[in-house]
Amino acid sequence: MKKVMLIGDSIRLGYQAKVTELLAGKAAVTAPAENCRFSAYTLFNLAVWAPDDDYDVIQWNNGQWDTAHMPDGLAHTSLPNYLELQERIAAILLKKTKRLIFATTTPVWPEFFTSAARNARGNEDITAYNKAATDLLAPLGIEINDLYSCVAEDIKRYISDDMVHLTEAGNDLCAGRIAAAIGG
């Protein structure tokens, strides 16, 4: 049975149970109990969350928190800093697994950026961060699981009324893609 680790923000928390169910009998899926939040938080906690060096597959994502705009109008994590953090996370995780997968950040409702929501974010930033991370990580042999594109096909169906988190249909869609990427 494969030993699988999922690391990521609240989007991961939403699809994790479905991934575990889809891989039942094929993989032992583990994950941090908590929201892995932004990239620096993930980096800080990797030693606790992924203590072993013998995972068959690890999939991780960061981005929703990183692209969120703070009260000063700037992203929580600048793009250059985000890329540096992804590279550091990847270097650590590559030592712990046979296969490493980076999942792109899912989109938000387009109107989220102009809403009165706290820490709004926009798809323009998310796509820029996804592209830059993909361009950085793919040449390192890291597989890319493009969750953004499949969810973007029908944002209002796959993203809930809070404009960020996945609906049940979105969780099903992403869980299916993740289970397929991990394999049985």
Give the residue from 51, 55, 54, 49 showing the smallest Cα distance to 33.
49
Name the DSSP class of 109. -
Q: Which fold has domain 2-182?
A: Rossmann fold (3.40.50)
Which residues of the chain are under the pLDDT cut of 70? 115-117, 184
**pLDDT score at 73:** 86
The whole-angstrom separation of Cα 39 and Cα 7 is 11
This prediction's pTM: 0.96
Could you state, in order of their start, the residue ranges of all structural domains in the chain?
Answer: 2-182
The token duo for 99 is 């296969």
pLDDT tens-digit map of 142-167: 999 999 999 999 999 999 999 999 99
